[in-house]
Amino acid sequence: MPGTPSPSPEGSVAQFLGPCAPARLFPPVPPIPDWARLEPNRPRPRPRPWRAAGGNSSALSWRGGSAPSWAAPPVRIAQAPPPGGHVAQQQDGGVRSVTEEPPRAPRVPRPARAMVTEQEVEAIGRTLLDAAQPLPARFRALFTLRNLGGRAAVEWIGRAFGDGSALLKHELAFCLGQMQDEAAIPVLISVLEDTAQEPMVRHEAGEALGAIGNPDVLDILKRYSQDPVVEVAETCQLAVRRLEWLQNNKEKPSTTPYLSVDPAPPAEETDVAKLREILLDESQELFDRYRAMFALRNVGGQAAVLALAEGLRCGSALFRHEIGYVLGQLQDEACVPQLTAALRSRAESPMVRHECAEALGSIARPSCLQALRAFASDEERVVRESCQVALDMYEYENGAQFQYADGLCKLQASS
């Protein structure tokens, strides 16, 4: 996915809300059909997907979008579509399907994006760098910068890699990858090459280089595909495969209902049983298993969720960590027992436990709360901090706050 897209694409809810819209906390969202009147509702850190019935990629679609792992807010249709369009809502699962896109109506003018000054970007950047700030506040500043985009935001995010929190640095790299701004490539290469950085940070830097989509980084990724740290090596192998796939599929449209930039494209298969078989077959190439993983996420439903949750027992820590992230995107309470068990396991990799904690914060049901509170004082720093951030996500999900990535909103309210 080469290029440097605007953080708020034409016609998106992110543009409607301005720079305060949450990101993957969250990736940009696609254009909204003009026949649909949008009434912004309280955004979710990882938005639930809008799936097009029958795989119609032209229909509305959302991700969770994350991003940390939190994205654009869900919207509701305030006006029935005209004849020829049908909208169905599944009340308990948060999935809405559009079976047919109706004829276009006259375009409704959109509010202009809020103007942001260099001083405001600097103030948000300083909040991100301020180690005296609570970590959840620094996360919110980070995702505000991620939404704003631009070279200044990239530079402020890059300056935070000297921090002592592996969790924060992991999220810095994640955001730089999701922004897909090639200005971030030098700092990401530097982080990948720095063996003093924690493996989960180097891994995320490698994944971000693949997400940006510039084939010029293939040589560096191939070099680190042989890294002695398994998670780093596997990540770079996946990033190489992704870039090669992009080069060979330039004309192939994306059919994913999630707006994240994923480490592998979804498989074309949609049968849950077949995808589950590939997902759990450790003799298959990791790239193909990742493709099955993202296809299961896109299919959705409890059968897919439970199939994905079985992946938490697979051998690769990198794979299990990605399973945790995807389950957080799906926000289905059916996987809470498996996520909780992984978080509680002292034998589990901290990288996996961290992602499972954030997934529980994204799901944000009462069944998630006990484990998050219990491990908010865990001896493993990345687990402890992930639970603290997840509790902030939980509070946001179940509270009255309108924005998660609220750094700019707070700044403007105080001025």
Report how far residue 103's alpha carbon sits from residue 84's, in angstroms, rounded to the nearest whole number. Answer: 8
Nearest CA among 321, 298, 299 for reference residue 311 = 321
Find out whether 321 is annotated in a ligand binding site.
yes
Tokens of 134: 């609570």
Find out whether 86 is annotated in a ligand binding site.
no
* Mode of pairing for the β-strands spanning 38-40 and 50-52: unpaired
Q: Determine which helix (DSSP H) or strand (DSSP E) holds 76, and give its type and residue range.
A: strand 75-77
Report how far residue 393's alpha carbon sits from residue 96's, in angstroms, rounded to the nearest whole number. Answer: 23
* Mode of pairing for the β-strands spanning 95-98 and 50-52: parallel
Report how far residue 273's alpha carbon sits from residue 303's, in angstroms, rounded to the nearest whole number. Answer: 9
Alpha-carbon torsion angle 133, 134, 140, 142, nearest 10: 50
Find out whether 380 is annotated in a ligand binding site.
no
Find out whether 203 is annotated in a ligand binding site.
yes
Report how far residue 142's alpha carbon sits from residue 316's, in angstroms, rounded to the nearest whole number. Answer: 29
Angle, alpha carbons 196-199-200 (nearest 5°): 130
Name the binding residues for Fe cation.
170-171, 203-204, 321-322, 354-355
Name the binding residues.
170-171, 203-204, 321-322, 354-355
